[in-house]
């Protein structure tokens, strides 16, 4: 096989592989968009009860204003990702950062393996920690006050 023919075959193979890669990227993005659309439709149809609130006490370096109130459902995830109940667009927040859930009249807070941690009254919440109204919950650098 001559060198120019071989180079032409390599170029064509590269183009085919590039198009296959781009097709896989488009398929992955489409799946993610469908998943996000489905997740955003589900809460509207179920209408979970609001059992409490998180009020921003100190927003740290984020753009969230102190006093901003977030509703808490019986099971609430906090993070940057689109499937979280509380979505916080901040670089110091992981895509799934923290979990809060309400059981037998008590809130429990647990870190979801985030980089910057979750704290209840300055105690790391690696394992589930109970929290009550008035406690300070820190997610990354943002401090919230738990209210009923």
Using DSSP, state whether 67 is helix, strand or coil. coil
With contact defined as beta carbons under 8 Å apart, do 120 and 137 qualify?
Answer: yes
Using DSSP, state whether 47 is helix, strand or coil. coil
pLDDT digits (tens, 9 = 90+) for 9-48: 999 999 999 999 999 999 999 888 888 777 666 655 556 7
**Could you give the angle at the alpha carbon of 19 between the alpha carbons of 13 and 23, nearest 5°?**
145
Phi first, then psi: give them for residue 101, nearest 5 degrees.
-145, 155
Q: What is the pLDDT of residue 110?
A: 96
The whole model's pTM is what?
0.66
Mean pLDDT of 122-139: 94
């Amino acid at each position: 096989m001559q060198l120019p023919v071989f180079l032409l075959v390599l170029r064509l193979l590269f183009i085919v592989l590039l198009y296959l890669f781009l097709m896989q990227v488009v398929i992955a993005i489409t799946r993610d968009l469908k998943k996000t659309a489905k997740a955003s439709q589900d809460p509207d149809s179920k209408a979970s009860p609001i059992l409490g609130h998180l009020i921003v006490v100190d927003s740290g370096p984020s753009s969230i204003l102190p006093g901003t109130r977030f509703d808490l459902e019986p099971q609430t995830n906090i993070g940057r990702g689109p499937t979280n109940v509380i979505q916080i667009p901040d670089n110091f927040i992981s895509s799934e950062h923290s979990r809060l859930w309400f059981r037998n009249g008590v809130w429990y807070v647990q870190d979801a393996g985030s980089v910057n941690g979750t704290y209840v009254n300055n105690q790391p919440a690696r394992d589930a920690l109970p929290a009550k109204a008035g406690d300070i919950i820190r997610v990354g650098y943002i401090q919230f006050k738990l209210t009923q």
